[in-house]
Amino acid sequence: MLSKRTLVLGVTALAPAIWGTTYLVTTELLPPQRPLLAAVVRALPAGLLLIAVTRRLPSGAWWWRAAVLGALNIGFFFALLFVAAYRLPGGVAATVGAVQPLLVAALSAGVLGDRLTPRTVLAGAAGVAGVGLLVLRADARLDGVGVLAALGGAVVMAVGVVLSKRWSSSAPLLATTGWQLAAGGLLLIPVAVLVEGPPPVLTTGNLAGYGYLTFVGSALAYALWFRGIRALPPTTVTFLGLLSPLVATALGWLVLDQRLTAAQLLGGAVVLAAIVTQSRRPRPSPDVAPPPAATASPSAAPPSAATASTPGG
């Protein structure tokens, strides 16, 4: 029988797997040259839908916290991703973005007090190398602004992941997810209008693609993602994000008849190895002595919840 932690990992992994379908949906169904419109449609309707379903608005500090998290996880991230996508080949942007697990690990050590282990560093470096083999091409060109945008996207998303873990809320998960999506979508509207102009006339295929991105790519995927952040260490969750380029490459082979090279197969194997390595539950440190066994006593009080539990246990 699968453990509860394994089930949570599997469910959380569905989010980046769904995001890996975005490239296929964008190229096959959406109007060309409209990435910011796609970002707005992905975020704002999904956020408003979740708010309507839960009938819950932020209160107190969560008004500004939701705005900050929405800007980091959605608004700024999509805007920087747009700049990187236009100025860099997709392989370069994906490879630079693959440093996100290492950034989350470092931020978690400084903000959350998590341990930065050699295993995490090695797995993170392997993840970057694996994504590079998977999507990078020998003739890829570099652009300074594009590289900075891709790196900035990884940074803001990493900060958003860590703050999502630090700022816990008693509100339902779907409500907090909706707040962030709505805030990020509202932030993106003026940017999309200024850069891309008014929306074009949409076809039935366009509407189907946008509907998929709204309901599946955002409302469902982000709810699963933030649920994972609540239940698991943020570093473990962000390593699962490496599945996105892996799924995108696999769909290109299965659906678009793109050829896979030996280097790509090796890169996919390295990515999977990095994810599995980091997803394993950490072993107790050998230099920490186990607590002494309690002496049986009729009057001994049971341990409190604070002393009987450990983070992530």
- pLDDT at res. 281: 73
Average pLDDT in the chain: 86
Predicted confidence (pLDDT) per residue in 92-105, tens digit: 778 888 999 999 99
Alpha helices in the chain (DSSP H): 4-19, 22-29, 35-54, 62-70, 76-87, 90-97, 100-107, 118-135, 144-166, 173-196, 204-212, 221-231, 234-240, 243-254, 262-279, 305-308
Return the structure tokens found at 300.
Answer: 């001994």
Q: 90 pLDDT band (50/70/90 cuts)?
A: low
Residue 308 pLDDT exceeds 90: no
Point out the least confidently predicted range of 38-42, 94-98, 258-262, 278-282.
278-282
Q: Is 77 helix (H, G, I), strand (E, B) or coil?
A: helix
Residue 15 has pLDDT above 90, yes or no: yes
Phi, psi at residue 122, to the nearest 5°?
-65, -40
In this prediction, residue 76 has a pLDDT band, given cuts at 50, 70 and 90, of very high
Closest CA relative to residue 81, chosen from 137, 35, 13, 37: 35
Mean pLDDT of 256-270: 90
Give me the residue label for tokens 């109007």.
Answer: 31
Q: What is the pLDDT of residues 201-257, one digit of tens each?
A: 999 999 999 999 999 999 999 999 999 999 999 999 999 999 999 998 898 889 888
pLDDT at 289 over 50: no
Closest residue by Cα to residue 103 from 238, 245, 230, 224: 238
Q: Using the predicted structure, report yes or no on whether residue 81 has a pLDDT greater than 90.
A: no
Q: Which two tokens stand for residue 254?
A: 């299965």
Q: What is the mean pLDDT of residues 277-288?
A: 66
pLDDT of the residue at 310: 30
DSSP state of 94: H
Are 240 and 9 in contact by the 8 Å Cβ rule? The answer is yes
- Cα 221 to Cα 81: distance, rounded to the nearest angstrom: 18
